[in-house]
Amino acid sequence: MNSSGFYKLNSDRLQYAASSVFAPNFTLLAEDHASYAYPVSGWYWFDSYEEGEAFFHINGASNADWLGFAGWLYQFPPIMAGMAAARQSTNPQGEPATTGLPAAMDEARLRQNYVAFALSWGQFLAASQLPAEAIAEIVAKADACNLPPEFIAALAPTRQRARNADGTFIADDPATPDVDEAWQS
């Protein structure tokens, strides 16, 4: 089956128009597809449905299993415990970090907005006190699900604040200028 045509990502669905797109301000015709400067109001030309999926990083073409990862993540016991800890924490970002995380993951999945995800994920990590071993498991699962490297990098913070046993931050000791106690090594 020939699936060449115009494609547009609308929310999380790929729209398809085989021969033409008519809008108030423009018209796209298949026979003229090579003459357009894409995107045209979000529309692109692809020679196949799979090419469109790969371009937009959705469904099977990129081999990224976003939904499998999300389903696993939200049932992963350390995440569930971290969500509860964040909601109960005195950190003002605790509740927003837990409620904003699914939307931030959608931003990463649908719009490749890894910066917004990294911000939300960082707030969640600060409020939840997720152990480094759990983060390593999450990174490994994201890699196994073939998620984009930019997303995987956002999952693994390069440095974390050091904490006391009660969860409060450890301050840097000015008496030891060559050691920064405030950060884990």
Residue with tokens 């920064």, as numbered in its chain: 180
CA separation (Å) from 146 to 116, 152, 183? 20, 9, 31
Of 6-15, 78-87, 103-112, 157-166, least confident by mean pLDDT is 157-166
Confidence at residue 158, expressed as pLDDT on a 0 to 100 scale = 66
- Per the DSSP assignment, residues forming a β-bridge with 183 are 161
Reported pTM:
0.56
Confidence at residue 36, expressed as pLDDT on a 0 to 100 scale = 96
Confidence at residue 46, expressed as pLDDT on a 0 to 100 scale = 92
What is the layout of strands, in order, in the sheet containing 5-10? 13-17, 5-10, 44-46
- pLDDT digits 0-9 by tens, 89-145: 777 777 887 888 888 888 888 778 888 898 889 888 888 888 889 999 999 999 888
d(CA 138, CA 69): 9
- pLDDT digits 0-9 by tens, 4-63: 899 998 876 788 888 899 999 999 999 999 999 999 999 999 998 778 877 887 755 457
Confidence at residue 60, expressed as pLDDT on a 0 to 100 scale = 52
d(CA 39, CA 55): 12
Confidence at residue 28, expressed as pLDDT on a 0 to 100 scale = 95
Backbone dihedral angles phi then psi of residue 37, each to the nearest 5 degrees: -95, 105
Can you give the residue ranges of every domain in the chain? 5-56, 66-155
Confidence at residue 12, expressed as pLDDT on a 0 to 100 scale = 66
Residue 166: pLDDT above 90? Answer: no
Mean pLDDT computed over 151-172? 80
Residue of 133 and 173 predicted with greater confidence: 133
Confidence at residue 185, expressed as pLDDT on a 0 to 100 scale = 56
Residue 76 banded pLDDT, cuts 50, 70, 90: very high
Residue of 177 and 37 predicted with greater confidence: 37
